[in-house]
Amino acid sequence: MIAAAVMDAGAGDDEIAADKGQEILAKVLAEFRPDLFEEKNEEPSLPVLTYSEISTAHITVSDNRLLERDADLRLNAKRSAENLVVDSTPYGYFACVPEVIFAAQLLEIGYSHAFCCLLELARRQGLQILKFDCDGETVDGLPVFEW
């Protein structure tokens, strides 16, 4: 409902759209009732995920194709790589870091050794998500692939 109203407002001038967006936000905040969450009137605590954003230069062309495929399969509710959850962005991918890295299966599917090592490094550092972005930073000490 909020998105539809903001989209309708976006059809005109940017300033009018911004005013309409602020008006909608004010209504939502006015209706916010923390007492609906708990009897103690405490706001709920949202979970926090840890992630790191790195350049897509740290994955191979083949890794890129596989990530794209796995993101598409996930969107179409089909099976993708074993225990690897991937979502695409306009500039790369979000890859959930599994608690257990099944490197042999990922290698068998076609993912590179470098990709498996990135997942393991992320897991060891306590990350839950790796974001691969074409504009992301390259990290010293990690392999860089030209493609």
12 shares its domain with 72: no
Does 147 reside within a domain? no
Q: Does the pLDDT of residue 84 top 90, yes or no?
A: no
Is residue 67 domain-shared with residue 118, that is, in the same domain? yes
List the domain range (segments joined by +) for residue 23: 2-36
Same domain, yes or no: 28 and 75: no
| pLDDT tens per residue, range 11-63 | 456 677 777 777 777 777 677 665 655 555 567 788 899 999 999 999 999 99
Host H or E run for residue 94: strand 92-96
- Identify whether residues 23 and 55 lie together within a single domain: no
Q: Both 70 and 22 in a single domain? A: no
- pLDDT given at position 126: 95
Q: Are residues 12 and 74 in the same domain?
A: no
Domain identity same for 71 and 117: yes
Cα 63 from Cα 69, distance rounded (Å): 10
Question: What percentage of the chain exceeds 70 in pLDDT?
Answer: 73
**Which of the two residues, 98 and 139, has the higher pLDDT score?**
139
**Residue 52: its H or E element:** strand 51-55
User: What phi-psi label fits residue 72: left (phi over 0), alpha (psi between -120 and 50 degrees) or beta?
Assistant: alpha
User: Per this entry, what is the length of the chain?
Assistant: 147
Indicate if 32 and 63 belong to the same structural domain: no
Burial of 58 (0-12, 13-18, 19+ CB in 10 A): buried
Tokens standing for 54? 């790195």
Asked if residue 70 and residue 121 are part of one domain, the reply reads yes
